[in-house]
């Protein structure tokens, strides 16, 4: 397969209104609504890719995301710099979101890991390693 990138990701959520607030109001993405005749859907853009939020009638009540099942482990967004990682960590902590705050992975890469309302693990990741080393 020859492809220039990812087109879209669809996240199944339990409560569209709650997810819209989390991704829109807290994380700051511009949320777009798809007209009701196509089902209740929201999406936001991340670069040239879209992330869609959807609910399904067949989703078991009370179901929660687990990265230990087959499928998605987590979704990572690219941070522009270390200050942005720390700023988001502080914002998440102030909002009561479960996170350990800004961390260093392998002593090199800054990131903050956190969970959305359905327990989907998200990361805000800085590609530039601490110390200015180049990544491959």
Q: What is the pLDDT of residues 54-98, one digit of tens each?
A: 998 888 889 999 999 989 999 999 999 999 999 999 999 999 999
CA torsion, ordered 49, 19, 92, 83, to nearest 10 deg:
20
The predicted structure's pLDDT at residue 38: 65
Beta-carbon count within 10 A of 52 CB: 16
- Whole-number Cα distances in Å, 107 to 22, 67, 131: 30, 24, 10
The predicted structure's pLDDT at residue 135: 46
Question: Quick one: tokens of 128?
Answer: 């530039």
The predicted structure's pLDDT at residue 132: 62
Residue 136 pLDDT greater than 90, yes or no: no
Residue 130 pLDDT level (bands cut at 50, 70, 90): confident
Average pLDDT over residues 15-32: 97
Residue 134 pLDDT greater than 70, yes or no: no
Domains of the chain: 1-56 (3.10.180.10), 73-136 (3.10.180.10)
Average pLDDT over residues 94-115: 96
Average pLDDT over residues 2-15: 93
Average pLDDT over residues 8-16: 94
Pairing of strands 49-54, 8-12: parallel
Mean pLDDT of the chain: 92
The predicted structure's pLDDT at residue 127: 92
């Amino acid at each position: 397969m020859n492809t220039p990138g990812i087109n879209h990701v669809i996240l199944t959520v339990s409560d569209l209104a709650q997810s819209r607030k989390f991704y829109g109001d807290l994380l700051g993405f511009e949320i777009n609504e798809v007209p009701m005749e196509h089902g209740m859907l929201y999406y936001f853009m991340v670069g040239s890719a879209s992330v869609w939020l959807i609910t399904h009638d067949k989703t078991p009540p009370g179901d929660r995301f687990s990265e230990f099942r087959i499928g998605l482990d987590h979704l990572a967004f690219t941070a522009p710099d270390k200050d942005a990682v720390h700023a988001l960590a502080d914002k998440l902590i102030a909002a009561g979101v479960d996170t350990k705050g800004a961390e260093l992975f392998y002593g090199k890469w800054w990131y903050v890991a956190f969970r959305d309302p359905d327990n989907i693990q998200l990361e805000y990741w800085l590609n530039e390693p601490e110390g200015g080393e180049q990544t491959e």
